[in-house]
Amino acid sequence: MSTSDTIFAPATAPGRAGIAVIRISGAKTLKALDRLGVGSLKPRVMTRAKLNDPTTADTLDDALVVWFETPNSFTGEDVAELHIHGGPAVVESVLSALNGVGGLRPAEPGEFTRRAFDAGKLDLTQAEALADLVDADTRAQARQALRQMGGALKTTYDDWRERLVKALAHLEAVIDFPDEDLPDDTAQALWGAVEGLEKELSKHLADDGRGERLRNGIHVAIIGPPNAGKSSLLNLLAQREAAIVSEIAGTTRDVIDVHLDLDGYPVLIADTAGLRSTTDTIEDEGVRRARNRAENSDLVVALFDGAVYPNRDPATVELIDDSTLVVVNKSDLLDQARELEHDIDDEWRATHFVSVKDGFGVDMLISTLTRKVAELCDEGTEAPITRARHRHALTECQTAMTRARSANLPELAAEDLRLAVRALGRLTGHVDVEDLLDVVFGDFCIGK
Ligand SMILES: Nc1nc2c(ncn2[C@@H]2O[C@H](COP(=O)(O)OP(=O)(O)OP(=O)(O)O)[C@@H](O)[C@H]2O)c(=O)[nH]1
Ligand SMILES: [Mg+2]
């Protein structure tokens, strides 16, 4: 596949729609428009034009066409967008007409973005953010993707890389030009800079996975004794009958996942088997899965059965920790249910009393759940790491810096700093490490 080919592809999803957009990018873009019978266009001005079949001259569609002149386009090349009617027959006929134009070929997946990256229009973190934005199911996910696409991570990583390259250049200068007129504190200053960077990196890495969590969805598990109403609560939150509800204890055996959008946050909530010891091997496996899911969730809702209040199921109590939301269901069965919240002993403090049956306390529970989920994603502070790839490269960079600081030979330290620079470079797609001499000569005027 040549990168000099002019490429085209539908930019909108397949299927029937009012409008479909076909995008063309490359040097032959204007030629392609000409072959379709589109007259001359002003850049960036949407123009109505008839698209004709280049061989038969049949009209294919009455369209709107816009052209972006190189380098001021998404890919940096000449780009055109054909806004055509979104019926499969129209789309197919225009694509096939474009395929017949010499030098044009259908784009590979991701090829437009690849070209934008090659043209320096965006770095790797921005290209990933673009994919995340297209994949975003909820508003908070879209916000995070937009922030990263705007360069929130790129700016930080570029800055770190620049500072690291500078430290490395200074170290190279100390190694290569020991007799030259270097400022006395060069070595001390450069190691101070590396140490400072290491601290910033550690802080960035200690983000508790909030960016990845928002990107992948927050995992919540409902656990509790059999018959507490876990499946009923799940169905209420999902607003559909996702799980079977019955008065028979031990109804739910498997983990049942439901996707929720809680005020813009993506949540994967799991209903689980009631916790109890049983000789039924299938139910026992269900209980094992329930415990496993509770362990691997970001948040656990421990649901107790109000029918036996104030008795607390010990197996469920065992799984409660600081991040557990404690809830008692079936408060409609409690004598003074509505007053209980004001008059309970320490064990039950901060407990939500709800009734899935009559809706009591449910709104309050949902708003607490939403608040906790929002806290777990903590969007307020700096832009977070959003992928394992970022975390891996940053950890590698950090390890190399730590090694460099304790190396006993400056040459070995330099090699480690070089690895650290490379790890950061891989993050953003900035791979050339040898922009060092500019810094050396710029700072010290060595050799004049
Ligand atoms: N009175 C009352 N009954 C409820 C309430 N919520 C659920 N129930 C009933 O409690 C019984 C058990 O409900 P489920 O939702 O199946 O309970 P579960 O916790 O999923 O039970 P297992 O799957 O067996 O672990 C059903 O008969 C429900 O109708 C409530 O708020 N009040
Ligand atoms: Mg159930």
DSSP 201-250: HHHHH-STTHHHHHHH-EEEEEE-STTSSHHHHHHHHHTS--S---SSTT
Task: Kindly state whether residues 219 and 315 are assigned to the same domain.
Answer: yes
3-state SS, residue 60 = strand
Atom from ligand 1 closest to the CA of residue 228: 19
CATH number, domain containing residue 290: 3.40.50.300
141-154 tens-digit pLDDT? 999 999 999 999 99
Q: Whose CA is nearest to atom 7 of ligand 1?
A: 229
Task: Kindly state whether residues 372 and 391 are assigned to the same domain.
Answer: no
In a domain, 1, yes or no: no
Task: Kindly state whether residues 367 and 393 are assigned to the same domain.
Answer: no
The parent domain of residue 401 ranges over 139-208+385-444
Q: Are 162 and 171 in contact (CB under 8 A)?
A: no
End-of-domain residue from the set 86, 118, 150? 118
Q: What angle do the packed helices 388-406 and 410-428 form, to 10 degrees?
A: 170
d(CA 252, ligand 2 centre) in Å: 4
Atom from ligand 1 closest to the CA of residue 333: 1
Q: What is the CA radius of gyration of the chain?
A: 30
Task: Kindly state whether residues 235 and 185 are assigned to the same domain.
Answer: no
Ligand number with the minimum distance to the CA of 228? 1
Q: Are 146 and 140 in contact (CB under 8 A)?
A: no
Atom from ligand 1 closest to the CA of residue 248: 24
Residues with a CB atom less than 6 Å from ligand 1: 226-232, 245-247, 249-252, 273-274, 329-330, 332-333, 355-357
Kindly give the parts of the chain with pLDDT less than 50.
337-339, 342, 445-448
Give the mutation target among 227, 269, 330, 360 for probing the ligand 1 site: most ligand atoms within 8 A of CB.
227
d(CA 361, ligand 2 centre) in Å: 20
Ligand number with the minimum distance to the CA of 327? 1
End-of-domain residue from the set 57, 83, 118? 118
Atom from ligand 1 closest to the CA of residue 358: 31
3-state SS, residue 36 = coil
In a domain, 130, yes or no: no
Atom from ligand 1 closest to the CA of residue 274: 25
Q: What is the DSSP letter of 344?
A: -
pLDDT value of position 447: 41
pLDDT value of position 380: 77
d(CA 96, CA 32): 12
Question: Phi-psi category of 217—alpha, beta or left, where left has phi over 0 and alpha has psi -120 to 50?
Answer: left
End-of-domain residue from the set 377, 407, 428? 377
Task: Kindly state whether residues 63 and 201 are assigned to the same domain.
Answer: no
d(CA 228, ligand 2 centre) in Å: 8
pLDDT value of position 348: 63
d(CA 159, ligand 2 centre) in Å: 52
d(CA 227, ligand 1 centre) in Å: 5
CATH number, domain containing residue 203: 1.20.120.430
Task: Kindly state whether residues 62 and 193 are assigned to the same domain.
Answer: no
d(CA 228, ligand 1 centre) in Å: 5
pTM: 0.85
Q: Whose CA is nearest to atom 14 of ligand 1?
A: 229
The tally of domains found in the chain comes to: 3
In a domain, 124, yes or no: no
Task: Kindly state whether residues 201 and 218 are assigned to the same domain.
Answer: no
In a domain, 125, yes or no: no
pLDDT value of position 132: 94
Give the mutation target among 235, 245, 280 for probing the ligand 1 site: most ligand atoms within 8 A of CB.
245
Read off the tokens for 357: 């049956």
Q: Are 7 and 33 in contact (CB under 8 A)?
A: no
Atom from ligand 1 closest to the CA of residue 355: 31
Q: Which stretch of DSSP H or E encloses residue 257?
A: strand 256-262
d(CA 249, ligand 2 centre) in Å: 8
pLDDT value of position 439: 56
Q: Whose CA is nearest to atom 10 of ligand 1?
A: 229
3-state SS, residue 325 = strand
Atom from ligand 1 closest to the CA of residue 329: 31
d(CA 285, ligand 2 centre) in Å: 14
Ligand number with the minimum distance to the CA of 275? 1
Atom from ligand 1 closest to the CA of residue 226: 25
Give the mutation target among 222, 232, 291 for probing the ligand 1 site: most ligand atoms within 8 A of CB.
232
Using alpha carbons, list the distances in angstroms from residue 393 to 44, 382, 400, 407, 429: 39, 19, 11, 21, 11
d(CA 231, ligand 2 centre) in Å: 4
d(CA 153, ligand 2 centre) in Å: 43
CATH number, domain containing residue 108: 3.30.1360.120
In a domain, 418, yes or no: yes
Task: Kindly state whether residues 190 and 75 are assigned to the same domain.
Answer: no
232-262 tens-digit pLDDT? 999 999 999 999 999 999 999 999 999 999 9
